[in-house]
Amino acid sequence: MLAIVLAWWLGSLSAPRASAPADDASLNAIQNPPAVVANPWRTTRGSTDLVRGLNISNGQKIADGFVLKGEARGTWFFEGSFPWRLVAVGGKGGDGNNGAMPRCASQSGLPCGQDGAETELLLGNGIATAQAEWMTEKWVPFEAVLEFDARGATAGRLILQKDNPAGLAENEDSLEIEVGF
C-alpha cells in the first residue's frame, strides 16, 4: 500500500500542471505593457522626482478655493507641510496693479520696473499639508486649499516651495506652475 501511495505522490510531482487559459485582456497587458509617462513637473533645480500627480496643468484656469492635490517626496515637507504662494505676473513695472506695490523679481537695486524686471503681485499664500506619514523619502500625498484674490489679474504663477526651515541655499527648491484666473 505504501508503494502505491509513494508512486502516486512521485507521479504528481513530475506531472505537468495545466494552467487556466489567459483571457484577451491579460494577454494584451503582457504583450503591450502600459507606456511609462514621464513626470511633466520639473523643479527650479531641475528635478522631476520630487513632485508628481498634480491635479492641475500648466495654463489651467483656477478660482478662489481650488483644492490642489498631488504627491511629493517626504523630503519636500517639514513637520508635514510646505508653503505655497500665488502671484500675478505683470509686465515691466507699473503695469496697472491697481496701486498695489509689486515685488520685483530682480535684485538690481533699481526701483521696481526701472531695470526691465518682471513684477509680481502676491495674490495668496498658504500651507500644503501631508495626507499621510511624511517622515519618509517615499511619495506622500498632499492637499492645499488655494484661497486668493485675483485682483483683476488674468494670469499668474503658483509656486510650491520645498520647506527649508534652516534657510540654507543648498536646500532651496520650488515648482512653478503657470495658471489663469
pLDDT in tens, the chain (181 residues): 555 544 554 555 554 444 445 556 554 555 555 454 567 889 999 999 999 999 999 999 999 999 999 999 999 999 999 999 999 987 433 344 433 334 444 444 444 455 555 678 999 999 999 999 999 999 999 999 999 999 999 999 999 999 999 999 999 999 999 999 9
- Torsions phi, psi of 173, nearest 5? -165, 155
Q: Are 144 and 67 in contact (CB under 8 A)?
A: yes
* pLDDT score of 97: 40
Q: Does 70 fall in a domain?
A: yes
* pLDDT score of 99: 36
Q: List the one residue out of 178, 85, 88, 166 whose CA is nearest residue 127.
A: 85
Q: Does 175 fall in a domain?
A: yes
14 Ramachandran zone, left/alpha/beta (phi>0; psi -120 to 50)? alpha
Q: Does 82 fall in a domain?
A: yes
Give the pTM.
0.68
CA distance 2 to 9: 11
Q: Does 165 fall in a domain?
A: yes
Q: Does 155 fall in a domain?
A: yes
Q: Give me the CATH number covering residue 137.
A: 2.60.40
* pLDDT score of 12: 53
Q: Does 14 fall in a domain?
A: no
Place of cell 500500500: 1
Q: Torsion angle, CA of 163/167/169/174, rounded to 10 degrees?
A: 20
**Could you give the number of structural domains in the chain?**
1
**Residue type (1 letter), 136:** T
b (16+ CB within 10 A) / e for 125-137: ebebbbeeebeee
Q: Are 45 and 173 in contact (CB under 8 A)?
A: yes
Tell me which H or E stretch contains 25. Answer: helix 24-31
Q: Does 173 fall in a domain?
A: yes
List the Cα angle 99/64/164 in 5-degree steps: 85
Q: Does 115 fall in a domain?
A: yes
Q: Can you give the residue range of the structural domain that contains 59?
A: 51-180
